[in-house]
Structure formats: structure tokens, C-alpha cells
Amino acid sequence: MPTSTGNPKRTAKRRTTKTSPNTPKAPPSLTYADSGVDIDAGDRFVDAIMGLMRRTHGPRVLANDGGFAGLFRLDFNEKLFKRNYKEPVLVASTDGVGTKLKLARDMDTFDTVGQDLVAMCVNDLIVEAAEPLFFLDYLAIPKVEHQMLVDLVKGVAEGCRIAGCSLLGGETAELPGIYPPGEFDMAGFAVGVVELRKATSGMKVEPGDVVLGLASSGIHSNGYSLVRRVVEHARLDLHAVYPELDPDQTLGRVLLTPTRIYAPSITKLLRGYKVKRVVSGMAHITGGGLAGNLERVLHPGVDAVLDRKAWPVPPVFTFLKKHGNIRGPEMDKVFNMGIGYCVVVRPAFADAVADKLARLGERVTRIGMIRKGEGRVLFRS
């Protein structure tokens, strides 16, 4: 094991960097401490989250008490966890959560957006058929607020638990000069691995392929600037219950529902099809909606034709459309409208794949198919 200093404050794979507030004073002798830095608060936070992080670590994570970088074994030769790769290709992605963070602040609820952060990164990894391995996060705040930070990391840790990856480390930057009071940001970074042969298999969607849609949990992480404008414009109350939306949850809670993480089911699905060429493409539905994202699995010779009536639009979208008086095409462009992830399958396997995904806990619907065309996503109804 690498050198341990024995000082618990130094054992964290998370660093807290601190800096001064916007308006400098002018004392006779300038010190860093005048800048409102609370080193103890930072250390207390680190201690509080160590347990959260360690619970996401499997046997592949090596202890690294002295350093700031996290260590993760790629191959593991124990019989129980044999997951060796002949020719491993690392897959990496980064993303943020965006304006949904402001909603978390509005709701004073910080323990769910960490899951959104993991979802946004990991859902992009699995599109490449990669197995998620580990995750790191960067949190930037104007001031260390202990409970808020612990809740943010709780959400990230929960997301990692669901996704089956290790929360290896992170950075918390206290930057009052950049972030006004109340604002904050989060960036996530996920790494996965895929066998070279799979990464370069050259799978292409073909006419006749079936488009399966996996239900979203709600709005997920895109479109929140519009969401917040609807709430303001229509004078909606985040803490009220609107029965036509959801009789059991406040509006705010519905809007804050974390992004669904598709990793466990997709990873298991793909393990069952190592040899057969069954899944010809996948898409994570984010900004740009179904059309904007499904377009990426197409090539110039094919179209995807979707049937809107094939899946139920969740109440939250109907609610937003009504209260914001938002036109249909605008809704389609901004929101996922109920489908968070797409799997394109060879027709002979469509039923089997849909069935397997359903047994793995997804709500799956055939939402359309591929036909000869020009690289467009079209709606039949």
C-alpha cells in the first residue's frame, strides 16, 4: 500500500480548495485567512463523506491514503470477480446537471441531483456498450455549507451504487469570487471499459430494425431553464400538490425526480449477447429530445420512424405544456417526452430483448422502426 501519513484529514481522495470572497478588505497585513476561509469546515465535510465514498468501493479500488488521485484495478484475478478484458478500450465521458441545480436550491433539496450527475455521464458510457468502472465529481460552491455538500455527495454515491461504479474521488472548490451566494455547479466524469472487438464492431442500424424505448423517470436533466420559466410565468408553487400532475408529491418533488440510470439493465442485457449481433444502436435521450438524439444512431441511408401513440406521455410534460402554453414541436425539441433511452434491435430479437429489459426492471415499448431513408427521425403520428 502506498505511504500513509496517518493524518485522517489527509486521507481523503477529495480535496477542498478555498479562496477569498469578492470584495477584498485592506488590513495592514494581508492573510489568506481573512478571506472567509474555513479550513475546519472543509475538513469536517471530508470526514463526513469518506464513509459514503467507501461504500461504493469494490475490491478493485486500492487504498491511497496519502494522495489525491484514486486508484482502480482494471483487471482483477480473483475467481469471484473475474472480469478480464483481452483488449480493453477505456471509455470516458463528462457532463454536468445544468439548471436543474437551481431547482435543487429552490427546493433546498440537495440529495438527488448527484444521481442526475452520475446518470448523465454513465448513460453516455453505456451507449458505447461500456461497463462503468468509476466516477469522479467536481463540486464548486461559493461557501462550504456542510449539510448541502454532504447531501450532494450522498446523491452522487447513490447514483454510483445504482450504476455499479466506484466513486473514486472528487474535488470541492470554494470559489466565492466566481459563484454568487446560492449558486453552485457540479461536473461529473465517468470511465468505463469495453472490449476492443465490441467497440469497433461496426454495427449499423438497418431497415427493419426495431426501436425500443425505455421509459424516463421524468424530465431527467435537460430543459430546466424552460421548466423554471414556466413555473415563474404561470405562478406555480413548487411546494403545492397539483392533483392532475401527481396526487402524492409536490410539484417541486416531481420536477426534481432524479434521472434514471440505465446502466444496470443495459450492461446485463449486453452481457447476454456477446456473440450474436443483436443490438445495432443505442441512444441516451438528452437535450434535443428523441429526434435530436436518435439521429446519432442513423446514417445517411436510413430514417427512424416513430409512433407517438406507442408510449404514454407522463403527466409532467402535459402539465408543463399546458401551463407554459408550449407548442408541440417545442416540447419535442426540449424534452424526452417519456422516453429516456433507446435500443435499436434486429427484428428477430426485438421481443426477446424487450422481454429481457422488462424483467431487468425497465418499462419498454416498441416505439418505431428503421427504414430506408436519409438520416432523419420522423414521427408517424
Binding residues for its own copies restricted to 356-375, rule: CB under 8 A: 375
Task: Give the H or E element holding residue 302.
Answer: strand 302-306
> Which CB atom, from 80 or from 247, has the smaller least distance to its own copies?
80
Min separation Cβ 247 and its own copies, Å: 26
Binders of its own copies among 79-98, rule CB under 8 A? 85, 87-96, 98
Q: Which stretch binds its own copies (CB under 8 A): 48-56, 150-158, 268-276, 296-304?
A: 296-304
Q: Which of 43, 106, 145, 295 binds its own copies (CB under 8 A)?
A: 295
Residue 341 grid cell: 433511452
> Which CB atom, from 204 or from 366, has the smaller least distance to its own copies?
204
Number of C-alpha atoms within 13 angstroms, CB side, residue 82?
5
> Which CB atom, from 28 or from 243, has the smaller least distance to its own copies?
28
If binding is defined by CB under 8 A, does position 180 make contact with its own copies? yes
If binding is defined by CB under 8 A, does position 211 make contact with its own copies? no
If binding is defined by CB under 8 A, does position 187 make contact with its own copies? yes
Cα(132)–Cα(160) distance, integer angstroms: 9
Min separation Cβ 270 and its own copies, Å: 14
Contact between residue 165 and residue 72 where contact means Cβ atoms under 8 Å apart: no
Task: Give the H or E element holding residue 110.
Answer: none
If binding is defined by CB under 8 A, does position 277 make contact with its own copies? no
Question: Binding mask 31-70 vs its own copies (x if CB under 8 A, - otherwise)?
Answer: xx--x--------------------------x-x-xxxxx
Task: Give the H or E element holding residue 102.
Answer: helix 100-107
If binding is defined by CB under 8 A, does position 381 make contact with its own copies? no
Contact between residue 340 and residue 216 where contact means Cβ atoms under 8 Å apart: yes
Binders of its own copies among 98-157, rule CB under 8 A? 98-99, 101-102, 124-125, 127-128, 130, 133-134, 136-138, 140
> Which CB atom, from 137 or from 246, has the smaller least distance to its own copies?
137
Contact between residue 192 and residue 91 where contact means Cβ atoms under 8 Å apart: yes
If binding is defined by CB under 8 A, does position 29 make contact with its own copies? yes
Cα–Cα nearest to 7, from 65, 71, 53, 50: 65
Q: Which of 46, 152, 191, 285 binds its own copies (CB under 8 A)?
A: 191
Binders of its own copies among 228-267, rule CB under 8 A? 228-230, 232-233
If binding is defined by CB under 8 A, does position 185 make contact with its own copies? yes
If binding is defined by CB under 8 A, does position 164 make contact with its own copies? no
Cα(96)–Cα(190) distance, integer angstroms: 11
Cα(115)–Cα(127) distance, integer angstroms: 18
Q: How many CB atoms lie within 10 A of CB 36?
A: 14
CA 71 vs CA 55, 57, 77, 167: distances in Å: 15, 11, 16, 11
Q: Which of 324, 338, 340, 368 binds its own copies (CB under 8 A)?
A: 324
Cα–Cα nearest to 49, from 167, 162, 141, 159: 167
Total of residues contacting its own copies (CB under 8 A): 113
If binding is defined by CB under 8 A, does position 178 make contact with its own copies? yes
Cα–Cα nearest to 344, from 203, 147, 198, 236: 203
Residue 141 grid cell: 460552491
